[in-house]
Structure 1
Amino acid sequence: MSENVKHTAGQYLTFTLAGEVFALDITAVKEVLELTAITRIPRMPDYLRGVINLRGQGVPVIDLRRKFGLECAKDSVNTCIIIVEVDGPEGRFNMGALADSVREVLEIGADEIMPAPKMGSAVKMDCIEGIGQQGDSFTIILKAERIFSGEELEQVQVPTPGAAEKIVIEPAVRVRQVQP
């Protein structure tokens, strides 16, 4: 991240992963859901937990712990799904991000946001918008659009109802029947 980047004050939804505090710009967050049934999709990356039904729309849910290479944990009563709106190859769409817990919405001033440090991290450095400082504690501010590469967004994008004309169904493997 460039040292010249100016950060603006804003509100951020804070959440936890493996005991660390992360944040997303509140303008990208659509809602926070209690953990609900997630339908697994075969042959998807391990960080993609599956899809949920959100008012008739399939929404992909990613496990941020797995995405960032953090230790996996069992779901708890505090585990939640943060619904964010991101830009994908086909336009804007909703995505769910699994978090250990949601904390609060913080107002972070521009003078309280520092550039991401230049050191090793479990989180890809390009998805870190900055580091927010609140007293003696730090909050890692993530940029929703940078969590995924364009190719990964194509993998997790779920067609909306009425978009059936965009779905391509590959022909099944034909099995030759052997006559006795």
Structure 2
Amino acid sequence: MANKTEAQFVTFSLGEEIFAVPVEVVREILDHEDPFKIPHGPEYLLGLRDVRGQGVPVIDLRLRLGMTATVKTSHTRILVLDVPVENRVLALGLVADRVYEVVPFQMSQIENAPDIGIRWRSDYISGVVRRNGGFVVIIDLARLFSDSGGALAGFAPVQHVA
């Protein structure tokens, strides 16, 4: 069992970038299937997927983060998450290009989101970990999917700084 100096994360990719979410919020990982479309939803809300009798909204995380839309491959997966947001738990499906593994990170390894000297949309980052010559971005799911984050309350695209 992990002690308080480390935490377990599920790592996955969106394009060339590696992201992670806490393992305790991951309910299951499913093969990709096209969800039931919901009219007039934000672009990143792909639709609903039946997960063991529950209608779960499926989010294209690439679109939510301001990237290009996901192109389905044989590696595309849906992470079904139970995300604690404010006074409730949201069941969400996040589309990932590929899911890798469960990894323990030492709490001392987790750095804050980088300060680049200007305001940018980094509020969804809870931390960054250096790994294998690159970085793993730990997503703050509660912030990304809270009403104040705008993810499910209405379309609030991530702004890129040129």
Report the TM-score when normalising by structure 2.
0.82
Is the CA contact (8 Å cut-off) linking 2:78 and 2:95 kept in structure 1? yes
SS of the residue corresponding to residue 108 of structure 2 reads helix
Q: How does 1:1-16 map to 2 (within 5 A)?
A: 9-16=6-13
Is structure 2 residue 112 aligned with structure 1 residue 115? yes
Any runs of at least 4 consecutive aligned residues in structure 1 with deviations exceeding 6 A, and if so which? none
Q: How does 1:36-115 map to 2 (within 5 A)?
A: 36-88=33-85, 91-115=88-112
If each structure's strand is expressed as a fraction of its own residues, which one has the higher value? 2
Larger radius of gyration: 1
SS of the residue corresponding to residue 146 of structure 1 reads helix
5+ long unaligned stretches in structure 1: 1-6, 156-180
Shift of the alpha carbon at 1:91? 1.8
Q: Separation in 2 of the partners of 1:58 and 1:35?
A: 15
5+ long unaligned stretches in structure 2: 155-162
Report the TM-score when normalising by structure 1.
0.75
Q: Aligned pairs, how many? A: 147
Q: CA RMSD in A?
A: 2.1
Is the CA contact (8 Å cut-off) linking 1:88 and 1:154 kept in structure 2? no
- Name the counterpart of 1:146: 143
- Name the counterpart of 1:17: 14
Identical counterparts, % of pairs: 35
Quick check: 58-67 or 140-149, which moved more?
Answer: 140-149
Is the CA contact (8 Å cut-off) linking 1:88 and 1:153 kept in structure 2? no
Q: Separation in 1 of the partners of 2:128 and 2:33?
A: 31
